[in-house]
Amino acid sequence: MYLFFLFFFFCLALLQGTGRPEGEHHWPKHYPYCGGAFQSPIDITSEMLRFDPTLRPIEVQNYNLSPNEQLTLGNNGHSVQISLPHKMHISSLPHHYAAAQLHFHWGSSSRPSGSEHRVNSKQYAAEMHVVHFNTEKYPNMSMAVDKSDGLAVLGVLIEVGEFNPAFEHFLKFINGIKYRGQKVQMPGFNIRSLLPARLDEYYRYDGSLTTPPCYPSVLWTVFRNHVTISRKQFLALATALYSSHAQDSVPVPLNGNYRKSQVVDSRVVLVSFKESKYGLHGTLTVISPLTRKRIIEQLLVGDLADLADEGLHQLLPSGSEKLYAGKGNDLKDEQSERVAKSKHQTLNPSLWKKGQTNRPVGTTVLAEDSLCYVSLEQRVFRRLKHSHTENQLVHALRDTVFPELNLKSYLTCKSDLALPTIRHILRGRPTDEAFELNHSLTKALMNQRKTSTAIKKSLPVTNSASLSPATVSRKPHNQGDPHPWLLPMEWED
Protein backbone atom coordinates (compact mmCIF):
# COMPACT_ATOMS: atom_id res chain seq x y z
CA MET A 1 0.00 0.00 0.00
CA TYR A 2 2.86 2.35 0.82
CA LEU A 3 4.44 1.73 -2.59
CA PHE A 4 1.10 2.35 -4.29
CA PHE A 5 0.71 5.80 -2.73
CA LEU A 6 4.36 6.57 -3.39
CA PHE A 7 3.85 5.83 -7.08
CA PHE A 8 0.63 7.86 -7.09
CA PHE A 9 2.32 11.01 -5.80
CA PHE A 10 5.31 10.37 -8.05
CA CYS A 11 2.98 10.44 -11.08
CA LEU A 12 1.39 13.65 -9.86
CA ALA A 13 4.80 15.26 -9.59
CA LEU A 14 5.66 14.20 -13.10
CA LEU A 15 2.75 16.19 -14.43
CA GLN A 16 4.42 19.40 -13.33
CA GLY A 17 6.99 21.58 -15.05
CA THR A 18 10.57 20.43 -14.86
CA GLY A 19 11.96 23.59 -13.28
CA ARG A 20 14.61 23.86 -15.97
CA PRO A 21 14.56 23.03 -19.68
CA GLU A 22 18.32 22.40 -20.00
CA GLY A 23 18.02 18.64 -19.65
CA GLU A 24 15.30 18.11 -22.24
CA HIS A 25 17.59 16.57 -24.83
CA HIS A 26 18.58 13.89 -22.31
CA TRP A 27 15.01 12.83 -21.53
CA PRO A 28 14.65 10.22 -24.32
CA LYS A 29 17.71 8.32 -23.01
CA HIS A 30 15.89 7.47 -19.81
CA TYR A 31 12.25 7.94 -20.89
CA PRO A 32 11.71 6.58 -24.45
CA TYR A 33 8.27 8.17 -24.84
CA CYS A 34 9.88 11.62 -24.65
CA GLY A 35 11.47 10.94 -28.04
CA GLY A 36 8.36 9.32 -29.50
CA ALA A 37 5.18 10.46 -31.22
CA PHE A 38 2.28 12.64 -30.03
CA GLN A 39 4.50 14.79 -27.81
CA SER A 40 3.43 18.08 -26.21
CA PRO A 41 3.50 21.03 -26.17
CA ILE A 42 3.24 22.18 -29.79
CA ASP A 43 3.19 25.43 -31.69
CA ILE A 44 -0.42 25.68 -32.90
CA THR A 45 -0.11 27.17 -36.37
CA SER A 46 -2.96 28.23 -38.62
CA GLU A 47 -2.28 25.66 -41.35
CA MET A 48 -2.87 22.71 -39.03
CA LEU A 49 -6.30 23.91 -37.84
CA ARG A 50 -9.45 22.00 -38.82
CA PHE A 51 -12.89 23.23 -37.81
CA ASP A 52 -14.95 20.45 -36.23
CA PRO A 53 -18.63 21.40 -35.89
CA THR A 54 -19.22 18.53 -33.44
CA LEU A 55 -16.98 20.00 -30.74
CA ARG A 56 -19.21 21.12 -27.88
CA PRO A 57 -18.47 23.95 -25.43
CA ILE A 58 -16.44 22.79 -22.44
CA GLU A 59 -18.71 22.24 -19.45
CA VAL A 60 -17.10 22.15 -16.01
CA GLN A 61 -19.03 20.98 -12.96
CA ASN A 62 -18.55 21.72 -9.23
CA TYR A 63 -15.73 24.17 -9.91
CA ASN A 64 -17.14 26.71 -7.45
CA LEU A 65 -15.61 25.46 -4.20
CA SER A 66 -16.69 26.62 -0.78
CA PRO A 67 -14.24 28.63 1.37
CA ASN A 68 -14.82 25.99 4.03
CA GLU A 69 -13.19 23.42 1.77
CA GLN A 70 -9.44 23.31 2.34
CA LEU A 71 -7.05 22.99 -0.62
CA THR A 72 -3.34 22.19 -0.51
CA LEU A 73 -1.01 24.66 -2.20
CA GLY A 74 2.48 23.28 -2.68
CA ASN A 75 5.91 23.83 -4.22
CA ASN A 76 7.15 20.49 -5.57
CA GLY A 77 10.38 21.96 -6.96
CA HIS A 78 8.96 22.03 -10.47
CA SER A 79 5.87 24.18 -10.19
CA VAL A 80 3.15 25.62 -7.98
CA GLN A 81 0.43 23.03 -7.56
CA ILE A 82 -3.07 23.19 -6.10
CA SER A 83 -4.76 19.91 -5.24
CA LEU A 84 -8.36 19.64 -6.42
CA PRO A 85 -11.26 17.49 -5.23
CA HIS A 86 -12.50 14.78 -7.59
CA LYS A 87 -16.03 16.12 -7.49
CA MET A 88 -14.81 18.76 -9.94
CA HIS A 89 -15.14 17.31 -13.43
CA ILE A 90 -15.64 17.94 -17.14
CA SER A 91 -19.02 16.78 -18.40
CA SER A 92 -18.70 17.53 -22.12
CA LEU A 93 -16.17 14.85 -23.14
CA PRO A 94 -16.74 11.23 -24.24
CA HIS A 95 -15.69 10.05 -20.76
CA HIS A 96 -16.10 11.40 -17.23
CA TYR A 97 -12.87 13.22 -16.36
CA ALA A 98 -12.45 14.22 -12.71
CA ALA A 99 -10.04 16.94 -11.57
CA ALA A 100 -6.83 16.02 -9.75
CA GLN A 101 -4.75 19.21 -9.59
CA LEU A 102 -3.76 22.37 -11.39
CA HIS A 103 -0.29 23.84 -11.87
CA PHE A 104 1.55 26.53 -13.78
CA HIS A 105 4.43 27.04 -16.22
CA TRP A 106 6.05 30.46 -16.56
CA GLY A 107 9.07 32.38 -17.80
CA SER A 108 11.40 34.63 -15.82
CA SER A 109 11.53 38.29 -14.79
CA SER A 110 14.00 39.01 -17.58
CA ARG A 111 12.08 36.93 -20.14
CA PRO A 112 8.35 36.87 -19.37
CA SER A 113 7.60 34.20 -21.98
CA GLY A 114 6.92 30.84 -20.43
CA SER A 115 3.79 29.27 -21.84
CA GLU A 116 4.27 25.74 -23.10
CA HIS A 117 1.88 25.98 -26.03
CA ARG A 118 2.37 28.67 -28.64
CA VAL A 119 -0.09 30.04 -31.16
CA ASN A 120 1.46 30.95 -34.51
CA SER A 121 4.86 31.08 -32.75
CA LYS A 122 3.62 33.51 -30.09
CA GLN A 123 4.65 32.43 -26.61
CA TYR A 124 2.64 33.82 -23.72
CA ALA A 125 3.95 34.79 -20.30
CA ALA A 126 2.62 31.69 -18.55
CA GLU A 127 0.21 28.77 -18.84
CA MET A 128 -2.09 27.01 -16.42
CA HIS A 129 -2.93 23.30 -16.70
CA VAL A 130 -5.98 21.82 -14.98
CA VAL A 131 -5.36 18.06 -14.94
CA HIS A 132 -8.24 15.55 -15.03
CA PHE A 133 -8.25 11.75 -15.23
CA ASN A 134 -10.75 9.28 -16.68
CA THR A 135 -12.74 7.96 -13.72
CA GLU A 136 -15.00 5.81 -15.89
CA LYS A 137 -12.17 3.44 -16.69
CA TYR A 138 -9.48 4.00 -14.05
CA PRO A 139 -9.77 4.15 -10.23
CA ASN A 140 -7.02 6.73 -9.70
CA MET A 141 -4.46 8.95 -11.39
CA SER A 142 -1.64 6.43 -11.16
CA MET A 143 -3.66 3.93 -13.20
CA ALA A 144 -4.76 6.51 -15.77
CA VAL A 145 -1.52 8.41 -16.34
CA ASP A 146 -0.08 6.04 -18.96
CA LYS A 147 -3.31 5.10 -20.77
CA SER A 148 -4.19 6.54 -24.17
CA ASP A 149 -7.55 7.80 -22.87
CA GLY A 150 -6.34 8.42 -19.34
CA LEU A 151 -5.99 12.19 -19.03
CA ALA A 152 -7.71 15.37 -20.16
CA VAL A 153 -5.97 18.69 -19.51
CA LEU A 154 -7.41 22.18 -19.85
CA GLY A 155 -4.72 24.63 -20.92
CA VAL A 156 -5.10 28.36 -20.22
CA LEU A 157 -2.68 30.84 -21.80
CA ILE A 158 -1.73 33.74 -19.52
CA GLU A 159 -0.52 37.17 -20.60
CA VAL A 160 0.80 40.07 -18.52
CA GLY A 161 -1.78 42.83 -18.49
CA GLU A 162 -4.65 43.73 -16.19
CA PHE A 163 -4.74 42.65 -12.55
CA ASN A 164 -6.62 39.38 -12.04
CA PRO A 165 -8.38 39.11 -8.64
CA ALA A 166 -9.00 35.36 -9.11
CA PHE A 167 -5.26 34.63 -8.95
CA GLU A 168 -4.97 36.41 -5.62
CA HIS A 169 -6.84 33.52 -3.99
CA PHE A 170 -3.60 31.51 -4.02
CA LEU A 171 -0.87 34.08 -4.74
CA LYS A 172 -1.39 35.64 -1.30
CA PHE A 173 -0.20 32.36 0.21
CA ILE A 174 2.81 31.94 -2.06
CA ASN A 175 5.38 33.13 0.49
CA GLY A 176 4.51 30.08 2.53
CA ILE A 177 5.80 27.75 -0.20
CA LYS A 178 9.00 29.52 -1.21
CA TYR A 179 11.06 26.32 -1.10
CA ARG A 180 10.71 22.83 -2.54
CA GLY A 181 8.54 20.50 -0.49
CA GLN A 182 6.71 23.23 1.38
CA LYS A 183 2.90 23.14 1.53
CA VAL A 184 0.18 25.29 3.03
CA GLN A 185 -3.55 24.94 3.44
CA MET A 186 -5.77 27.51 1.75
CA PRO A 187 -9.55 27.99 1.54
CA GLY A 188 -11.42 26.87 -1.55
CA PHE A 189 -12.59 29.36 -4.16
CA ASN A 190 -14.25 29.42 -7.57
CA ILE A 191 -11.73 27.64 -9.80
CA ARG A 192 -13.89 28.58 -12.79
CA SER A 193 -12.76 32.21 -12.29
CA LEU A 194 -9.23 31.18 -13.34
CA LEU A 195 -10.50 30.13 -16.78
CA PRO A 196 -11.35 32.39 -19.72
CA ALA A 197 -14.89 33.77 -19.89
CA ARG A 198 -15.64 31.76 -23.04
CA LEU A 199 -15.24 28.00 -22.86
CA ASP A 200 -16.71 27.33 -26.30
CA GLU A 201 -13.62 28.38 -28.28
CA TYR A 202 -10.63 26.09 -28.01
CA TYR A 203 -7.96 24.00 -29.76
CA ARG A 204 -8.15 20.22 -29.38
CA TYR A 205 -5.46 17.65 -30.14
CA ASP A 206 -3.94 14.39 -28.89
CA GLY A 207 -0.69 14.87 -27.02
CA SER A 208 1.40 13.94 -24.01
CA LEU A 209 2.62 14.88 -20.58
CA THR A 210 5.10 17.72 -20.94
CA THR A 211 7.52 16.15 -18.46
CA PRO A 212 9.07 12.69 -18.16
CA PRO A 213 7.93 10.03 -18.70
CA CYS A 214 6.04 11.95 -21.44
CA TYR A 215 3.26 9.40 -21.80
CA PRO A 216 1.11 10.16 -24.90
CA SER A 217 -2.01 10.02 -22.77
CA VAL A 218 -3.43 13.55 -22.82
CA LEU A 219 -6.49 14.89 -24.61
CA TRP A 220 -5.48 18.54 -24.79
CA THR A 221 -7.97 21.41 -24.74
CA VAL A 222 -6.15 24.74 -25.05
CA PHE A 223 -8.51 27.69 -24.82
CA ARG A 224 -8.32 30.18 -27.65
CA ASN A 225 -8.79 33.23 -25.39
CA HIS A 226 -6.08 34.02 -22.86
CA VAL A 227 -6.43 35.51 -19.38
CA THR A 228 -4.33 38.31 -17.94
CA ILE A 229 -2.46 38.86 -14.70
CA SER A 230 -0.63 42.00 -13.62
CA ARG A 231 3.14 42.27 -13.80
CA LYS A 232 3.29 42.19 -10.00
CA GLN A 233 1.31 38.93 -10.01
CA PHE A 234 3.58 37.46 -12.67
CA LEU A 235 6.70 38.41 -10.69
CA ALA A 236 5.23 36.62 -7.66
CA LEU A 237 5.50 33.42 -9.68
CA ALA A 238 8.76 34.24 -11.43
CA THR A 239 10.85 35.60 -8.53
CA ALA A 240 9.41 34.46 -5.18
CA LEU A 241 9.98 30.70 -5.50
CA TYR A 242 12.92 28.29 -5.40
CA SER A 243 13.30 24.79 -6.79
CA SER A 244 15.74 23.96 -3.98
CA HIS A 245 15.03 23.02 -0.38
CA ALA A 246 15.18 25.59 2.43
CA GLN A 247 18.24 23.89 3.93
CA ASP A 248 20.23 23.91 0.68
CA SER A 249 23.22 26.24 0.83
CA VAL A 250 22.66 27.70 -2.63
CA PRO A 251 19.02 28.57 -3.45
CA VAL A 252 17.99 27.78 -7.03
CA PRO A 253 15.28 30.05 -8.48
CA LEU A 254 12.17 28.34 -9.84
CA ASN A 255 11.41 29.85 -13.24
CA GLY A 256 11.50 28.97 -16.92
CA ASN A 257 9.75 25.68 -16.12
CA TYR A 258 8.36 25.01 -19.59
CA ARG A 259 9.15 22.43 -22.26
CA LYS A 260 10.03 23.60 -25.75
CA SER A 261 7.65 23.00 -28.67
CA GLN A 262 7.65 19.44 -30.00
CA VAL A 263 7.46 18.03 -33.53
CA VAL A 264 3.88 18.12 -34.78
CA ASP A 265 4.22 14.92 -36.87
CA SER A 266 1.40 15.99 -39.22
CA ARG A 267 -1.13 15.97 -36.41
CA VAL A 268 -4.38 17.81 -36.95
CA VAL A 269 -5.52 20.39 -34.41
CA LEU A 270 -9.30 20.55 -34.26
CA VAL A 271 -10.91 23.89 -33.43
CA SER A 272 -14.38 24.56 -32.10
CA PHE A 273 -14.68 27.99 -33.69
CA LYS A 274 -15.32 28.79 -37.33
CA GLU A 275 -14.43 32.47 -37.56
CA SER A 276 -11.15 33.95 -36.38
CA LYS A 277 -10.72 37.12 -34.36
CA TYR A 278 -9.42 38.80 -37.47
CA GLY A 279 -12.50 38.33 -39.63
CA LEU A 280 -11.29 35.21 -41.42
CA HIS A 281 -13.98 32.70 -42.43
CA GLY A 282 -11.58 30.23 -44.04
CA THR A 283 -10.97 27.69 -41.29
CA LEU A 284 -10.63 24.19 -42.72
CA THR A 285 -13.34 21.65 -41.96
CA VAL A 286 -12.80 18.01 -41.13
CA ILE A 287 -14.22 15.65 -43.70
CA SER A 288 -16.28 12.91 -42.08
CA PRO A 289 -15.18 9.25 -42.20
CA LEU A 290 -18.24 8.55 -44.37
CA THR A 291 -17.01 10.90 -47.07
CA ARG A 292 -13.48 9.55 -46.81
CA LYS A 293 -14.77 6.02 -47.37
CA ARG A 294 -16.46 7.19 -50.55
CA ILE A 295 -13.26 8.80 -51.75
CA ILE A 296 -11.53 5.44 -51.29
CA GLU A 297 -14.39 3.70 -53.12
CA GLN A 298 -13.91 6.07 -56.05
CA LEU A 299 -10.30 4.91 -56.26
CA LEU A 300 -11.26 1.25 -55.92
CA VAL A 301 -14.16 1.02 -58.36
CA GLY A 302 -14.44 4.38 -60.13
CA ASP A 303 -13.49 5.21 -63.69
CA LEU A 304 -9.82 6.10 -63.31
CA ALA A 305 -9.55 7.59 -66.77
CA ASP A 306 -12.39 9.99 -66.02
CA LEU A 307 -10.81 10.88 -62.70
CA ALA A 308 -7.58 11.74 -64.49
CA ASP A 309 -9.36 13.72 -67.23
CA GLU A 310 -11.67 15.65 -64.93
CA GLY A 311 -8.91 16.62 -62.54
CA LEU A 312 -7.72 15.94 -59.06
CA HIS A 313 -10.64 17.80 -57.45
CA GLN A 314 -12.93 14.90 -58.34
CA LEU A 315 -10.78 12.67 -56.18
CA LEU A 316 -10.56 14.93 -53.18
CA PRO A 317 -13.11 16.72 -50.99
CA SER A 318 -13.38 19.86 -53.12
CA GLY A 319 -16.11 17.95 -54.95
CA SER A 320 -17.51 16.44 -51.79
CA GLU A 321 -20.84 18.27 -51.99
CA LYS A 322 -21.99 15.57 -54.41
CA LEU A 323 -20.95 12.89 -51.95
CA TYR A 324 -22.94 14.52 -49.16
CA ALA A 325 -26.17 14.66 -51.15
CA GLY A 326 -28.99 12.92 -49.31
CA LYS A 327 -26.69 11.68 -46.55
CA GLY A 328 -27.15 14.29 -43.83
CA ASN A 329 -28.16 11.79 -41.16
CA ASP A 330 -25.33 9.42 -42.08
CA LEU A 331 -22.84 12.27 -41.81
CA LYS A 332 -24.14 13.29 -38.41
CA ASP A 333 -23.97 9.71 -37.15
CA GLU A 334 -20.43 9.29 -38.46
CA GLN A 335 -19.28 12.52 -36.82
CA SER A 336 -20.86 11.62 -33.48
CA GLU A 337 -19.22 8.21 -33.58
CA ARG A 338 -15.85 9.77 -34.41
CA VAL A 339 -16.08 12.19 -31.49
CA ALA A 340 -16.96 9.37 -29.10
CA LYS A 341 -13.89 7.44 -30.23
CA SER A 342 -11.59 10.41 -30.75
CA LYS A 343 -9.09 9.73 -27.99
CA HIS A 344 -9.20 6.08 -26.99
CA GLN A 345 -8.48 5.04 -30.58
CA THR A 346 -5.40 7.25 -30.78
CA LEU A 347 -2.98 4.76 -29.28
CA ASN A 348 -2.98 1.00 -28.91
CA PRO A 349 -1.92 0.40 -25.31
CA SER A 350 -0.65 -3.09 -26.17
CA LEU A 351 1.94 -1.51 -28.44
CA TRP A 352 3.22 1.12 -26.04
CA LYS A 353 2.95 -0.24 -22.53
CA LYS A 354 4.65 -3.04 -20.69
CA GLY A 355 2.70 -5.80 -19.05
CA GLN A 356 0.22 -6.21 -21.90
CA THR A 357 -0.50 -9.44 -23.73
CA ASN A 358 1.52 -9.76 -26.92
CA ARG A 359 -0.45 -10.08 -30.16
CA PRO A 360 0.53 -12.45 -32.97
CA VAL A 361 2.26 -10.91 -35.94
CA GLY A 362 -0.12 -10.47 -38.83
CA THR A 363 -1.78 -7.61 -40.66
CA THR A 364 -0.73 -4.33 -39.17
CA VAL A 365 -1.84 -4.21 -35.55
CA LEU A 366 -1.11 -0.49 -35.54
CA ALA A 367 -3.73 0.07 -38.21
CA GLU A 368 -6.47 -1.06 -35.86
CA ASP A 369 -6.08 2.01 -33.69
CA SER A 370 -5.69 4.74 -36.29
CA LEU A 371 -2.32 6.14 -35.33
CA CYS A 372 -1.18 9.20 -37.18
CA TYR A 373 0.80 7.11 -39.63
CA VAL A 374 3.04 9.97 -40.77
CA SER A 375 4.74 10.25 -37.38
CA LEU A 376 5.45 6.53 -37.26
CA GLU A 377 6.66 6.44 -40.86
CA GLN A 378 9.02 9.35 -40.31
CA ARG A 379 10.43 7.88 -37.11
CA VAL A 380 11.05 4.47 -38.67
CA PHE A 381 12.68 5.76 -41.84
CA ARG A 382 14.76 8.27 -39.87
CA ARG A 383 16.27 5.43 -37.88
CA LEU A 384 16.73 3.27 -40.96
CA LYS A 385 18.49 6.13 -42.69
CA HIS A 386 20.96 6.47 -39.83
CA SER A 387 21.69 2.75 -39.93
CA HIS A 388 21.82 2.64 -43.77
CA THR A 389 19.42 -0.28 -43.70
CA GLU A 390 18.00 -1.53 -46.99
CA ASN A 391 16.39 -4.94 -46.84
CA GLN A 392 13.16 -6.87 -47.33
CA LEU A 393 11.68 -5.48 -44.13
CA VAL A 394 12.13 -1.92 -45.37
CA HIS A 395 10.40 -2.76 -48.65
CA ALA A 396 7.58 -4.48 -46.80
CA LEU A 397 7.06 -1.43 -44.62
CA ARG A 398 7.11 0.91 -47.59
CA ASP A 399 4.96 -1.18 -49.91
CA THR A 400 2.42 -2.82 -47.61
CA VAL A 401 2.39 -1.83 -43.96
CA PHE A 402 2.46 1.96 -44.28
CA PRO A 403 -0.22 2.17 -47.02
CA GLU A 404 -2.55 -0.01 -44.96
CA LEU A 405 -1.87 2.03 -41.86
CA ASN A 406 -2.38 5.26 -43.79
CA LEU A 407 -5.78 4.05 -45.03
CA LYS A 408 -6.94 3.35 -41.48
CA SER A 409 -5.50 6.60 -40.25
CA TYR A 410 -7.10 8.56 -43.10
CA LEU A 411 -10.54 7.01 -42.63
CA THR A 412 -10.55 8.00 -38.94
CA CYS A 413 -9.42 11.59 -39.66
CA LYS A 414 -5.95 11.14 -38.14
CA SER A 415 -3.78 11.65 -41.24
CA ASP A 416 -3.84 12.88 -44.81
CA LEU A 417 -4.02 10.49 -47.75
CA ALA A 418 -0.51 9.92 -49.09
CA LEU A 419 0.43 9.47 -52.74
CA PRO A 420 2.10 6.07 -52.06
CA THR A 421 -1.19 4.91 -50.56
CA ILE A 422 -3.12 5.93 -53.67
CA ARG A 423 -0.60 4.06 -55.78
CA HIS A 424 -1.04 1.09 -53.48
CA ILE A 425 -4.81 1.19 -54.09
CA LEU A 426 -4.30 1.46 -57.83
CA ARG A 427 -2.40 -1.81 -57.97
CA GLY A 428 -4.51 -4.42 -59.68
CA ARG A 429 -6.49 -1.89 -61.68
CA PRO A 430 -6.13 -1.61 -65.51
CA THR A 431 -2.57 -0.53 -66.18
CA ASP A 432 -3.33 2.28 -68.64
CA GLU A 433 -5.99 3.86 -66.44
CA ALA A 434 -3.88 3.61 -63.31
CA PHE A 435 -0.87 5.04 -65.14
CA GLU A 436 -2.94 7.95 -66.46
CA LEU A 437 -4.32 8.81 -63.05
CA ASN A 438 -0.92 8.45 -61.41
CA HIS A 439 0.53 10.81 -64.01
CA SER A 440 -2.29 13.29 -63.28
CA LEU A 441 -1.60 13.11 -59.54
CA THR A 442 2.14 13.59 -60.01
CA LYS A 443 1.54 16.56 -62.29
CA ALA A 444 -0.85 18.08 -59.76
CA LEU A 445 1.77 17.68 -57.06
CA MET A 446 4.43 19.42 -59.15
CA ASN A 447 2.05 22.27 -60.01
CA GLN A 448 1.10 22.66 -56.36
CA ARG A 449 4.74 22.94 -55.35
CA LYS A 450 5.38 25.58 -58.01
CA THR A 451 2.28 27.53 -56.95
CA SER A 452 3.18 27.29 -53.28
CA THR A 453 6.71 28.54 -53.98
CA ALA A 454 5.44 31.46 -56.05
CA ILE A 455 2.86 32.44 -53.43
CA LYS A 456 5.39 32.18 -50.63
CA LYS A 457 7.71 34.59 -52.43
CA SER A 458 4.90 37.08 -53.08
CA LEU A 459 3.35 37.01 -49.59
CA PRO A 460 4.03 40.02 -47.34
CA VAL A 461 5.39 39.45 -43.84
CA THR A 462 2.49 39.25 -41.37
CA ASN A 463 2.18 39.37 -37.61
CA SER A 464 2.85 35.86 -36.33
CA ALA A 465 0.08 36.15 -33.78
CA SER A 466 -2.63 36.79 -36.36
CA LEU A 467 -4.57 34.43 -38.55
CA SER A 468 -4.40 36.34 -41.78
CA PRO A 469 -6.17 35.06 -44.92
CA ALA A 470 -2.78 34.66 -46.56
CA THR A 471 -1.41 32.35 -43.92
CA VAL A 472 -4.48 30.16 -43.70
CA SER A 473 -5.85 29.91 -47.20
CA ARG A 474 -2.65 30.09 -49.20
CA LYS A 475 0.18 28.84 -47.08
CA PRO A 476 1.28 25.30 -48.00
CA HIS A 477 0.79 22.51 -45.51
CA ASN A 478 3.42 22.06 -42.79
CA GLN A 479 6.90 21.20 -43.90
CA GLY A 480 6.76 17.65 -42.61
CA ASP A 481 3.92 16.82 -44.98
CA PRO A 482 5.24 15.54 -48.32
CA HIS A 483 1.85 15.88 -50.05
CA PRO A 484 0.23 19.26 -49.28
CA TRP A 485 -2.14 18.92 -52.24
CA LEU A 486 -3.73 15.83 -50.75
CA LEU A 487 -5.27 17.51 -47.73
CA PRO A 488 -8.47 15.58 -47.02
CA MET A 489 -10.26 18.78 -46.08
CA GLU A 490 -12.57 21.41 -47.53
CA TRP A 491 -12.92 25.16 -47.12
CA GLU A 492 -15.73 26.40 -44.92
CA ASP A 493 -17.01 29.73 -46.23
**Spatial separation of the C-alpha atoms in residues 14 and 11, rounded to whole Å:** 5
Residue 78 is a catalytic residue: yes
**Spatial separation of the C-alpha atoms in residues 410 and 288, rounded to whole Å:** 10
DSSP per-residue string spanning 369-407: GT--HHHHHHHHHHHHHHHT--SHHHHHIIIIIHHHHHH
**Spatial separation of the C-alpha atoms in residues 284 and 49, rounded to whole Å:** 7
Q: Which of 25, 78, 95, 395 is catalytic?
A: 78
Contacts of 90 (CB under 8 A, 6+ apart): 58, 59, 60, 61, 96, 97, 132, 152, 154
Strands 118-119 and 489-491: unpaired
For 147-172, letters b (16+ CB in 10 Å) and e give bbbbbbbbbbbbbbeeebebbebbbe
Residue 103's nearest CA partner among 126, 133, 119, 136 is: 126
Strands 489-491 and 284-286: antiparallel
CA of residue 181 relative to chain centroid, distance = 31
User: Which positions are catalytic?
Assistant: 78
